[in-house]
Amino acid sequence: MRIHLKTLGCRLNEAELESWSRGFRAQGHQITHDLSQADLVVVNTCAVTAEAVRKSRKLMHRAHRSNPRAKLVVSGCFASLDPRETARTLGVDLVVNNPEKDRLVEITTRELGLNAMPELATASGENTLLGAGRQRAFIKVQDGCRYRCTFCVVTLARGEERSRSIPEVIDEIDQLHGQGIQEVVLTGVHIGGYGSDCGSSLVQLVTAVLQETDIPRLRLGAVEPWDLPEAFWGLFDNPRFMPHLHLPLQSGADTVLRRMARRCKRGEFQTLAELARRTIPDFNITTDIIVGFPGESDKEWQQTLELVERIGFGHLHIFAYSARPGTRAAALPDPVPREVIRTRSRTLHSLGSRLKRQTLERFVGRSFQVLVEQCMEESDEEVAWNGYTPNFLRVAIQGSPSDGLGNQIRKVRLERANNSGDQLLGTVLQ
């Protein structure tokens, strides 16, 4: 069968989609990028914000409308929160709830009668990452979360914490590396809670990956700041563990953090950031901020702006708060007016852009190993390739498409920030 895969939302959703792609191909099915040609469409939905819900519904409607003859399978947080309603109203043939996502290929095959001829199966473990121009793979290592931040609907949809075994993760990384993948990102709903259900830990997992695989570059997805023990920071002594973390802050005001049921105060977060930068050369920290959480006063908002500026994040993911049914925050009083949220968001975006440019400019004149990811056919800066430094700074590389740099790790000199201040321009050193 021809199968079309789509996802919205987090890196974990991307990792799951890649796993499903490998599973379907191993059964002899073909992955197609053309929705109109698909016999089966699989959509991995998101519910982290009201906008994500809207996009999930729109994506399912479009899939059904554009190719009504295709079977439609949905999973993910939006689909799992109300699976009966999803199936009834959106033309869905099968809903695979989050606790069963790892078995989506098996369940879909059984429930929808997908009969593939084994002799047509591709080589065991083969995937389409490189064929799609991908040099980085996202590896799902755990699911679920034991915490209940008051704004978060994802933990309700994902359920209890469940970790994959270290040998299973090692085996997947080895297979991907053997197919040419240069960098893997370990992801999960609560990756810092890895091993809570099996007597292991994130430190043990990262140590094993670095010791038992030869993958050139290893990264982590978002990690909660309270999940990092002292032993964690020594892992960065290995240069294959990339010096960047995405540490969600959410707010810079302790009073708001308490209403969110977050487990890290502003002072503790700042201490953590200072420790990371003092311990690890060129360390880059990025973060999430929620704007307009219920009851957020002008004073609390100013505390957030002040802390964001003081820490100097390399990048901000900014979310306008929207109430999610089923969460405790949805029942909190004193909602912030939408116009106030929009004004504050504009202010934070401006600050984030300035901090990002400052971060980039600190590294001008330096040289780093860059994983070159793709060739850009059109550019106004006379560059042909782009990629990322170890500390996750995006670099546009001057040169020609004929240079053939794709999926190589090359030493690049960072010449200057580009005109928009969102990436660096670099030159490959021979």
pLDDT, tens only, 341-373: 999 999 999 999 999 999 999 999 999 999 998
Q: What is the DSSP letter of 199?
A: T
Q: With 50 as the cut, is the pLDDT of residue 127 above it? A: no
What token pair was written down for 44? 């991995």
What token pair was written down for 77? 């947080």
pLDDT averaged over every residue in the chain: 89
Q: Which domains does the chain have, with CATH numbers?
A: 2-120 (3.40.50.12160), 133-242 (3.30.750.210), 246-362 (3.30.750.200), 367-428 (2.40.50)
263-277, 356-370, 400-414 — which is least confidently predicted?
A: 400-414
CA separation for the pair 258, 268 (Å, rounded): 14
For the chain, percent of residues with pLDDT exceeding 90: 65
Q: Which amino acid makes up residue 246?
A: H
pLDDT per position as a tens digit, 37-95: 899 999 999 888 888 888 988 988 888 888 988 999 999 998 888 777 766 766 788 99
Q: Are 276 and 285 spatial neighbours (Cβ–Cβ below 8 Å)?
A: yes
Scanning the structure block, which residue is given the tokens 């121009």? 133
Q: Are 427 and 398 spatial neighbours (Cβ–Cβ below 8 Å)?
A: yes
**Angstrom distances, CA of residue 286 to CA of 57, 120, 317:** 29, 44, 8
At 375, the pLDDT band (50, 70, 90 cuts) reads confident
**Ramachandran angles phi, psi of 169, nearest 5°:** -65, -45
pTM given for the model: 0.83
Q: How many CB atoms lie within 10 A of CB 231?
A: 11
Which of these, 140, 145, 141, 148, lies nearest to 161 by C-alpha position? 145
What token pair was written down for 405? 């740099």
Q: Which amino acid makes up residue 72?
A: L
Average pLDDT over residues 92-100: 89
CA angle 253, 325, 74 (to 5 degrees): 115
Q: How many CB atoms lie within 10 A of CB 321?
A: 21
At 378, the pLDDT band (50, 70, 90 cuts) reads low
